[in-house]
Amino acid sequence: MNISSRLLISTLFLMPGAYAGDLCITDIGNTNYTLATCLATANLSRATFVAKAPQSTPFEYLEVTVVTAKSKNDFLLLNGDKDGTAQAAANSLPHADAIEEREPLNAAAARRLDVKGWISKGENIDYFSAKENPGFSLVCGSASREIRSIYVRVSQCTPFYEQDITAFHEILKAVEINIEAQSSGT
């Protein structure tokens, strides 16, 4: 076995994302998250990032999903929707049986998700409370765009505090940088 074969085998075992397809995003630029899975084929991938540390409630650091595809049809098929909603992220919420209402974000709230070059949408998820006081809400945001002929969507649900919105914007920028670097071969 020559050195290049050994190097290839080592790469396959030590860096699973390297052979899962060039579409697999392995870093979202947020140190609170780690790559849990990346399901990839030749034309598309779905990477799921989860919290690195155990959380005190199931609503902290909810998973981030990054979907990439080489064709728009594959992209729409994998995402399960045609209009770019955050449905995929909302489907993975804890305590789904306690969700009281789901509705699109109002225009002002939706604008807070916007990042230049990305098409953003969001959904407000209201949870029921057995007590007389209101339950609580989460926002499931989704942003998509085409980068160097790669279709990408990032989805995440958060309490929608300012730090959550900032973190979502930073994730979008990191994903964009990652795809640019993969496309340029660096």
Read off the pTM.
Answer: 0.81
CA distance 145 to 143: 7
Extents of the domains making up the chain: 24-97+109-120+140-184
Mean pLDDT by 10 residues, the chain (186 residues): 37 36 86 94 90 87 92 75 54 83 90 92 87 81 92 92 95 95 75
pLDDT of residue 97: 85
Can you spell out the DSSP letters for 66-91?
Answer: EEEESSHHHHHHHHT-SS--SHHHHT
- Tokens 């390297």 belong to residue: 18
| 164: CB partners within 8 A, 6+ apart | 158
